[in-house]
């Protein structure tokens, strides 16, 4: 019988336990993934008790309180705290979402916090996004034109044409969708994934762009586009309520209509 083993140092172990010594008004337990590449130790899950009456209502508020008052070694990304930058994307209670928009009260029992799944981890809750940003760069996410007959003025759109970009421009590149997609888990080196394909459709759908055929040619590939099997995890998990699966379907239909 074949014996399958996890890679060295990949098994997650139980970690430290931070207990509240004083009496807490409202105690909540947070189980947080910890990993330090500078050591040879296995990843671990540390347990933190926190009086949430002493912090804000969001999971990000709790993380900041833990870092400031309990354990300054914990590492995570955050910036806007308003759900518009995507920096604090992580897996909370089994779902990819934004820590700054996830209410602590939404989770019953201990809150389990892990980095975005199936991405290399730099440290603790910080995933390595360099690979996915290379994929983003590959779709050339900027307006491309073939002529300059616009007299150096803005390239106008009708209100109806502008509406075509609704549900696309709002994407904050948090990658919650791509990291929830099984097709991306297994083919992330070739399949562009929901986040990048939604961005690709954003430029194809833009009436000011004049490189539609060129963009479709680059996407017409058995892996870049067609690894999508419409599982719909991407749409279900998007913290902005967008529909990457629909954007992918629109690209496929555009290619089919052209052929």
Choose one of 109, 127, 145: the last residue of a domain. Answer: 127
Residues 136 and 248 in one domain: yes
Residue 213 lies in a domain: yes
In degrees and rounded to multiples of 5, residue 113 shows phi and psi of -125, 120
Choose one of 127, 159, 190: the last residue of a domain. Answer: 127
Flag whether pLDDT at 65 surpasses 90.
yes
- Strands 95-98 and 13-18, sheet pairing: unpaired
pLDDT > 70: percent of the chain? 95
Residue 203 lies in a domain: yes
Residues 64 and 90 in one domain: yes
In degrees and rounded to multiples of 5, residue 231 shows phi and psi of -75, -30
Flag whether pLDDT at 149 surpasses 90.
no
**CATH number, domain containing residue 194:** 1.10.1060.10
Residues 116 and 194 in one domain: no
Smallest Cα–Cα separation from 83: which of 227, 226, 240, 245? Answer: 240
Confidence of residue 11 (pLDDT cuts 50, 70, 90): confident
Task: Tell me the β-bridge partners of 123.
Answer: 126
Q: What's the CA gap between 235 and 242, in Å, rounded?
A: 6
Residue 2 lies in a domain: no
Q: Model-level pTM? A: 0.92
Kindly report, residue by residue over 14-23, the tens digit of the pLDDT.
Answer: 999 999 888 8
Residues 134 and 251 in one domain: yes
Residue 190 lies in a domain: yes
First to last CA, the chain: 49
Flag whether pLDDT at 1 surpasses 60.
no
Q: What's the CA gap between 197 and 187, in Å, rounded?
A: 14
Residues 139 and 253 in one domain: yes
Residues 213 and 170 in one domain: yes
Compute the mean pLDDT over every residue in the chain, rounded to the nearest whole number.
93
Residues 234 and 252 in one domain: yes
The full DSSP string for 160-198 is HHHHTTTTTTT-----TTGGG-HHHHHHTTT--HHHHHH
Res 7: pLDDT: 67
**CATH number, domain containing residue 91:** 3.10.20.30
Residue 4 lies in a domain: no
Residues 112 and 160 in one domain: no
Kindly report, residue by residue over 170-191, the tens digit of the pLDDT.
Answer: 999 999 999 999 999 999 999 9
- Estimate the share of the chain in helix, then strand, then coil, as percent rounded to the nearest 5: 30, 15, 55
Mean pLDDT of 142-148: 84
Structurally, how many domains does the chain consist of?
A: 2
Residues 121 and 134 in one domain: no
Report whether 63 contacts 87 (CB < 8 A): no
Residues 121 and 144 in one domain: no
Choose one of 108, 127, 146: the last residue of a domain. Answer: 127
Residues 144 and 252 in one domain: yes
200: domain range?
A: 130-258
Residue 57 lies in a domain: yes
Residues 103 and 183 in one domain: no
């Amino acid at each position: 019988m074949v014996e399958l083993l996890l890679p060295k140092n990949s098994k997650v172990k139980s970690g430290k336990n931070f207990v509240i010594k004083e009496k807490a008004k409202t105690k909540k337990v947070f189980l947080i993934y910890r990993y330090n590449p500078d050591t040879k130790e296995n990843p671990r899950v540390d347990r933190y008790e926190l009086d949430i009456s002493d912090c804000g209502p969001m999971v990000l508020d709790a993380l900041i309180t833990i870092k400031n008052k309990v354990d300054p070694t914990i590492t995570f990304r955050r910036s806007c705290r308003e759900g518009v930058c995507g920096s604090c994307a992580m897996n909370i209670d089994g779902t990819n979402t934004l820590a700054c928009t996830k209410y602590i009260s939404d989770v019953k029992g201990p809150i389990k916090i892990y980095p975005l799944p199936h991405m290399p981890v730099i440290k603790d809750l910080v995933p390595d996004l360099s690979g996915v940003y290379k994929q983003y760069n590959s779709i050339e996410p900027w307006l491309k034109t073939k002529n300059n007959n616009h007299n150096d003025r803005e390239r106008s759109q009708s209100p109806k044409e502008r509406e075509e970009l609704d549900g696309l421009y709002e994407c904050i590149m948090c990658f919650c969708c791509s990291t929830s997609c099984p097709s991306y888990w297994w083919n992330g080196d070739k399949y562009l994934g929901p986040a990048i394909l939604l961005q690709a459709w954003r430029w194809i759908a833009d009436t000011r762009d004049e490189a539609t055929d060129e963009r479709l040619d680059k996407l017409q590939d058995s892996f870049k586009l067609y690894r999508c099997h419409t599982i719909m995890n991407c749409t279900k998990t998007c913290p902005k309520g967008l529909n990457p699966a629909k954007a992918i379907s629109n690209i496929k239909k555009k290619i089919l209509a052209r052929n």
